[in-house]
Amino acid sequence: MADRLGSPVVVITGASSGIGQATAEAFARDGARLVLAARGEHALEEVAARCRSLGADAIAVPTDVTDPDAVERLAVRARGFGGRIDVWVSNVGVGAVGRYHDTPMRAHEQVIRANLLGHMHDAHAVLPHFLRQGRGIFINMISLGGFAAAPFAAAYSASKFGLRGFSEALRAELADHPGIHVCDVYPAFIDTPGLRHGANYTGRALSAPPPVYDARRVAAAIVRLSHAPRPTTTVGWVADATRLAHLLAPGWTTRLMARFMAAYFRRARGAPVTDGNLFAPPPDGGRIDGGLRSSRQRMLGLGVLACCALALVSLDRRYGRR
């Protein structure tokens, strides 16, 4: 897109931290004109200022993607800013960790509103612009949770499975419009402030199982999609391995993950129960990294790999005898 049209106009939702911020900075270095959206105005403006310091033309448009009217206004503002919309990165994602029955229904509902309906609002707002232009790239940030369920995050799993189905349906509807692309991105576990910002109803400190990847790796993949769109992109071998394992043995892999998580919660230190950023933006936005890629995490990663290898050997022996 950038090669054909000069500086592309790129909209990024969820741009105030983590993958969204890394993507904004990557597009700024790539010469894009940026329309950045998130709920937190101060953090969002900090990211826009950072992009401007990298040489990009960037504006911050505070937007709550759970409000469809606000997203429609975002699209109109983007069109007015750049004269067109070339790429829309639908990146908002929140989570609520806890046993399903211990997590308030209002929290489950808010996860679905942000992670599924929010992305649907994005697509509904930008597609008319793409259709008038005859071109455009819609990039949907999903996660490996779109391939395999995440125990203790039931609403998150529901939203990601639903988002994958939504994207597939949308691609089929747009098959007669070769200039319009719907691209899904499935990262493995990424080092962002997301876990710290998210809702936690477990009473235990949360961390991501290793290996944990740099958010800038995801951002680079998104920028590549703006030049060469494709339907499905995974980031990190764990996403590919999860996809394959769930395809071959869905029940077994989900039970294994549930046992791993339950064991982790039994050992983890205590932490406050909190709604996190479900209903309001976090107070400490404007950071890409979450501090999860420590040397201890890398050592734990080797242990996890060893346990997975032993589990696969056990599974092979169990079913090989049948």
Indicate which residues carry an active-site annotation: 156
Helical axes 118-133 vs 154-173, angle rounded to 10° = 20
CA–CA separation, 286 vs 22, rounded Å? Answer: 10
Amino acid at 22: A
Q: What are phi and psi of 142, to 5 degrees?
A: -110, -105
